[in-house]
Amino acid sequence: MASQQLLLTDKAIIRLPYATSGQYKARDTELGGFFVQVGKRSKTYMVEGEFWRHGVREIRAQIKLGEFGDISTREARTKAKEALASIARGERPGEAAKPRPGAITLRGAWERYRDAHL
């Protein structure tokens, strides 16, 4: 089944049939980059954004927001807006977990404690 566009609501997602083979996307008409990926057994909220540098697209990132049934469409839309805002700021998925230069890590804190007290 080809991708389709519709206003994503809980009722609209319930009406989406599961894929008979593979997966397809149902994209939101209201928020660009927000979509539901429908497989044979699951419906997953996703967001997609592109990272550009000097006028050239570096990568396209897809971020999983949650499963339909676990979170509502309203919650997924809020998460999608936050994810798209972080992509617009140039933050790549997973970079937030990396410590910033000069930040104290658990390893660094342990080494300080060990050296000072043991």
Higher pLDDT, 20 or 91: 20
Please report, for the chain, the start and end positions of each structural domain, with discontinuous segments joined by +: 4-117
Q: Which residues contact 9 (CB under 8 A, 6 or more apart)?
A: 73
**Which CATH number does the domain 4-117 belong to among 1.10.630.10, 3.40.50.1970, 1.10.510.10, 3.30.160.390?**
3.30.160.390
User: For the whole model, what pTM was predicted?
Assistant: 0.72
> What confidence score (pLDDT) does residue 28 get?
94
> What is the tens place of the pLDDT at every residue in 83-115?
998 888 877 766 655 666 777 888 888 999 999
Percent of the chain clearing pLDDT 90 (strictly above): 56
CA distance 38 to 3: 10
